[in-house]
């Protein structure tokens, strides 16, 4: 059993091990901010989803899909999987394939509101629970030189929507956020904390 400070502030909860099914260093960092020490596990799952699925349900669907693709023993453990989608009007902006696509995405986001939706799935040997959280982000009108500078310098090809809010573009280009800031980075930390506490009470006590 690995020790984690999460249980120091929740001494009434039985200790369990946490697994994070993600390669994202940002999600690992966000879990660490909750004083959760998680073992990283690699899960092979594609990101295909049914064409008739409501766009706001895609992130939660993919988080569950990743969870179900993990075949390891979850006795005494909680597997955390997640997926983040950037929604602009009636489309999902995925991870850009190259500089041109990243710049095109930022031109689309410039001067507009968009939604960032993160789905999370918690699973143990005896149960599963999933949820999602939505944040509204507003960009100022971005100039071509600002877009060029950000993409050329930070190369955001591993980020949905072509940007990371924790980077230069977030500090210089975001004029408003409604909802959880950390959700835009990849995990709705406060909601995840509460859901984990409830999940442990439900399945381990």
In the numeric block, which tokens belong to residue 98?
């190259």
Of 35, 52, 83, 90, the catalytic one is 83
Distance CA 56, CA 63 (A): 13
Query: DSSP per residue over 60-94, as a string?
Result: HHHHHHHHHT--S--TTEEEEEEEEEEEETTEEE-
Angle between helices 99-109 and 144-154 (to 10 degrees): 140
Residue with tokens 């986001």: 109
Classify 196 as helix, strand or coil.
helix
3 close to 194: Cβ distance less than 8 angstroms: no
Reply yes or no on whether 98 is catalytic.
Answer: no
The span from the CA of 16 to the CA of 200, in Å, is 8
Name the residues annotated as catalytic.
Answer: 83
């Amino acid at each position: 059993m690995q020790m984690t400070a999460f249980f120091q502030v929740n001494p009434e909860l039985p200790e369990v091990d946490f697994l994070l099914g993600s390669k994202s260093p940002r999600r690992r960092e966000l879990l660490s901010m909750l004083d959760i020490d998680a073992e990283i596990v690699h899960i092979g799952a594609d990101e295909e989803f049914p064409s008739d699925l409501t766009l706001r349900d895609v992130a939660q669907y993919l988080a569950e899909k990743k969870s179900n693709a993990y075949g390891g023993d979850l006795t005494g453990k909680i597997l955390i999987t997640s997926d983040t989608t950037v929604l602009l009007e009636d489309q999902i902006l995925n991870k850009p394939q190259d500089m041109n696509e990243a710049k095109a995405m930022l031109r689309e986001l410039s001067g507009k509101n968009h939604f960032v939706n993160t789905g999370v799935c918690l699973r143990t040997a005896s149960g599963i629970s999933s949820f999602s959280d939505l944040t509204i982000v507003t960009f100022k009108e971005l100039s071509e030189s600002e877009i060029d500078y950000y993409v050329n310098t930070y190369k955001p090809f591993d980020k949905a929507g072509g940007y990371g809010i924790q980077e230069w573009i977030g500090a210089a280009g975001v004029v408003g956020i409604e909802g959880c800031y950390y959700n835009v980075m990849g995990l709705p930390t406060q909601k995840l904390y509460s859901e984990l506490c409830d999940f442990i009470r439900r399945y381990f006590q």
